[in-house]
Amino acid sequence: MDRHVAVTGASSGLGEAIARAFGAAGDHLTLVARRSGLLEAVASAFAGRARVAEYDLATSDPAAWLPAAEAAFGPVDVLVNAAGCQVIAPFADVTPAAADEMTAVNFRAPVRLVRAVLPSMRARGVGAIVNISSIGAAAPPPYMSDYVATKAALAAFSESLGAELRGTGVNVLTVYPGPMNTPMGAAGLRTYGNAPSARMMPMGDPAGLALAVLRAVDRRRPRLTYPRGYALMRWLPPPAGFLVSRFGPRPVTPSTPGTR
């Protein structure tokens, strides 16, 4: 389709899967993450249509990579905020540094990046912004207080902005993934040991979510929940939140920050 699609967290997990889906559709890609080797591996599948921006979004200026990206491929047509980090542990055991990193990567960076690309999108009357939140924003599980707070903030920002931009030509897609078969998802599951309630949670496929995101962007949808079975948690948050808080698994060992 020859759009310029910028994807954060593109080195692995959901970000990588989404980048590959847009690349397979014929778009130009700017791949943003800290691990250049993994980014280069993704970019190699789309020679001449993908560039790597090795960058840490937790820095004070998460949009510093953008001017070079736009010089190479033109204004960003689709921004996908997929980078994320997570710690699963009792609140008292989460260090201030880890909490600050989740806030910076999961919320501050997406907002700053939207602020950077939106003026051009509005001037052209076309564009798409994809914000990857979490189903935990609707039904917050215990032992993820900092993480779900950042994802709930991102969801509220995204839904509000989407309503504000209706009719401008710029569409905002808010994505609510459930547990996913990603490195971060696997790291999260390991913290619960062999808890039956953890093993019973339906796990989503990153490639499946990536194709759903691609279709939702093309169809200008406002939100997407994946896997679909988790949609009830967003529409019925009080009972879903009760069940999650009462019967959700407890971590055996704290997780370390992980990237989708």
Q: Alpha-carbon distance 260 to 13, whole Å?
A: 5
Nearest-angstrom CA–CA distance, 188 and 183: 9
Which of 197, 15, 215, 227 has the alpha carbon at shortest distance from 135?
227
Domain around 15: 4-259
CATH code of the domain containing 164: 3.40.50.720
Rg (CA), the chain: 17
Between CA 80 and CA 7 the distance in angstroms is 5
Q: Domain count for the chain, please give it.
A: 1
Give residue 227's pLDDT. 87
Instruction: Please indicate whether residue 158 is annotated as part of the active site.
Output: no
Q: 151 catalytic, yes or no?
A: yes
The pLDDT value given to residue 232: 59
Say which of 55, 143, 147, 192 is annotated catalytic: 147
Q: Could you list the mean pLDDT of each consecutive 10-residue stretch along the chain, which spans 260 residues?
A: 95 96 98 97 96 96 98 98 94 96 98 98 98 92 93 97 98 93 62 54 86 98 88 56 50 55
pLDDT, residue 240, reads 46
Instruction: State residue 125's pLDDT score.
Output: 98
- The pLDDT value recorded for residue 131 is 98
Whether 133 is catalytic is: yes
Stated length of the chain: 260
- pLDDT number for residue 1: 78
Q: From CA 89, how far away is CA 122, in angstroms rounded?
A: 41
Looking at residue 46, what is its pLDDT? 97
Q: How much is the pLDDT for 33?
A: 97
Tokens 């339906």 — which residue?
Answer: 202
DSSP 260: -
What is the DSSP track for 190-245? HTTTT-HHHHTS--B-HHHHHHHHHHHHHTT-SEEEESGGGHHHHHSHHHHHHHHH
From the list 55, 134, 151, 192, the catalytic residue is 151
Among the listed residues 11, 12, 55, 133, the single catalytic one is 133
Write out the DSSP string of 87-153: --S-GGGS-HHHHHHHHIIIIIHHHHHHHHHHHHHHHHT-EEEEEE--GGGTSPPTT-HHHHHHHHH
